[in-house]
Amino acid sequence: DSGVTQTPKHLITATGQRVTLRCSPRSGDLSVYWYQQSLDQGLQFLIQYYNGEERAKGNILERFSAQQFPDLHSELNLSSLELGDSALYFCASSVDPGGAAGELFFGEGSRLTVL
Amino acid sequence: DQQVKQNSPSLSVQEGRISILNCDYTNSMFDYFLWYKKYPAEGPTFLISISSIKDKNEDGRFTVFLNKSAKHLSLHIVPSQPGDSAVYFCAAFGNQFYFGTGTSLTVIP
Q: Are B35 and B29 in contact (CB under 8 A)?
A: no
* Confidence category of residue A99, pLDDT binned at 50, 70, 90: low
Give the pLDDT confidence score for residue B1 in this predicted structure. Answer: 67
Q: How far is A97 from A31, CA to CA, in rounded Å? A: 6
Distance between CA atoms of residues B98 and A114, nearest Å:
26
Note the pLDDT of residue A59.
83
What pLDDT shows up at residue A107? 96
Cα dihedral value A68, A74, A78, A83, nearest 10: 140
CA dist., res. A75 & res. A32, Å (int) = 10
* DSSP letter string, A32-66: EEEEEE-TT---EEEEEEETTEEEEE-S--TTEEE
Distance (Å) from the alpha carbon of B105 to chain A's nearest alpha carbon: 14
- Residue A6 CA to residue A35 CA, distance in Å, equals 12
Query: Is residue A96 very low, low, confident or very high in pLDDT (cuts 50, 70, 90)?
Result: confident
Asked whether B48 and B25 are in contact (CB, 8 A), the reply is no
Contact call for A100 and B31, based on CB within 8 A:
yes
Partners of residue B33 on adjacent β-strands = B50, B92
Q: How many CB pairs under 8 A join A and B?
A: 56
Q: How many helical (H) and strand (E) elements, i.e. helices and strands, does chain B have?
A: 0, 11
pLDDT (0 to 100) of residue A82: 96
Chain A residues touching residue B41 (CB < 8 angstroms): 108
Interface of B with A in 55-84 (CB under 8 A): none
CB atoms within 10 A of CB A36: 23
Per-residue pLDDT of A50-66, as tens digits, reads 999 998 898 899 999 99
Answer yes or no: is pLDDT of A100 > 60. no
* Residue numbers in chain B where pLDDT is lower than 50: none
Instruction: Specify the range with the lowest mean pLDDT, choosing from A17-31, A88-102, B50-64, B87-101.
Output: A88-102
Interface of B with A in 20-49 (CB under 8 A): 31-32, 34, 36, 41-46, 49
Q: Which residues pair with B77 in a beta bridge?
A: B19, B62
B18 φ, ψ (degrees, to nearest 5): -90, 140
* CB-based contact B49 A107, cutoff 8 Å: no
**A40 interfacial to chain B (CB closer than 8 Å):** yes
pLDDT at residue A1, rounded to an integer: 82
- Please report which confidence band the pLDDT of residue A101 belongs to, taking 50, 70 and 90 as the band edges: low
pLDDT given for residue A98 in this prediction: 62
Torsion angle, CA of A67/A91/A110/B46, rounded to 10 degrees?
A: 180
CA distance B6 to A66: 29
pLDDT at A97 over 70: no
